[in-house]
């Protein structure tokens, strides 16, 4: 049985164009109005999804948890959102401006069990991993603490890095636990003591 494919994009005409391009390659694709409802009625499918706003990340987590293979389309696939997509469980990251042929080859590779991402994204993920302080925090996580230490809010941080506020809160709670900190202020103070942060005033994060 051929794999089913869903396409989600803020612009209906764009989604319909992708569906048509895949149909010409004999792939069963559609642009459902209720993406999660569509996915919940299927055991395993491929979802080609444009991420254009922070609230688009939550469906990706749910789709991945449901066993679906997600191909994320981004306006700038080489930027930090590309790495976020991979960490969220996307099987591939692709430019929204990619050709139909490139998308087709990407989907075929994903169906073959591969994970595809731009070289810049892979390099960024590797640098974050090897740059983790004492193997505990990634460079991204350190930058989150720096933003909070400078007085930024979780909502502002979430908007900057491309997560929903709720997802950002969960990620930060994980950081605090890994540091053995009970809250944001303790985490910032511990990070300062370990020399992870640039000079900041922890009182700004109260």
- 75-117 pLDDT, tens digit per residue, is 988 777 888 888 889 999 999 999 999 999 999 999 999 999 9
Percent of the chain with pLDDT over 90: 48
Q: Tell me the pTM.
A: 0.67
**Smallest Cα–Cα separation from 57: which of 82, 85, 37, 36?**
85
Rounded CA-CA distance 191/206 in Å is 15
Rounded CA-CA distance 33/84 in Å is 25
Domain positions in the chain are 4-123, 132-205
Give Rg (Cα) of the chain: 19
- Which stretches of the chain drop beneath a pLDDT of 50? 130-135, 202
Q: What's domain 132-205's architecture?
A: Orthogonal Bundle (1.10)
pLDDT, position 63: 94
CATH match for 4-123 among 3.40.50.2300, 1.10.10.10, 3.20.10.10, 3.50.50.60: 3.40.50.2300
Q: Residue by residue, what is the 3-state secondary structure of 154-188? A: HHHHHHHHCCCHHHHHHHHHHHHHHHCCCCHHHHH
State the CB neighbour count (10 A cutoff) for residue 193.
9
pLDDT, position 182: 85
DSSP 132: S
Q: What is the per-residue pLDDT across 123-139, written as a single tens digit (0 to 9) for each?
A: 777 765 544 444 467 88
Rounded CA-CA distance 64/44 in Å is 10
Secondary element (H or E) of residue 23: helix 12-24
pLDDT, position 30: 96
Rounded CA-CA distance 73/75 in Å is 7
φ, ψ of residue 38 in degrees (nearest 5): -60, -45
């Amino acid at each position: 049985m051929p794999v089913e494919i869903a396409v989600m994009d803020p612009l209906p005409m764009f989604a319909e164009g992708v569906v048509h391009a895949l149909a010409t390659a004999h792939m069963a694709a559609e642009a459902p109005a209720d993406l999660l409802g569509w996915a919940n009625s299927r055991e395993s499918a491929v979802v080609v999804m444009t991420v254009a706003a922070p609230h688009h990340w939550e469906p990706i987590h749910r789709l991945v948890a449901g066993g679906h293979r997600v191909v994320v389309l981004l306006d700038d696939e080489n930027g930090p959102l590309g790495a976020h997509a991979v960490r969220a469980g996307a099987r591939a990251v692709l430019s929204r401006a990619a050709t139909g042929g490139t998308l087709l080859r990407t989907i075929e590779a994903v169906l073959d069990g591969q994970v595809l991402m731009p070289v810049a994204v892979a390099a960024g993920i590797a640098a974050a991993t090897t740059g983790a302080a004492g193997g505990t925090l990634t460079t991204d996580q350190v930058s989150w603490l720096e933003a909070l230490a400078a007085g930024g809010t979780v909502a502002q941080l979430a908007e900057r890095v491309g997560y929903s506020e709720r997802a950002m809160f969960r990620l930060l709670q994980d950081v605090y636990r890994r540091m053995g900190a009970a809250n944001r202020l303790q985490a910032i103070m511990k990070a300062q003591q370990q020399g992870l942060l640039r000079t900041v005033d922890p009182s700004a994060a109260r």
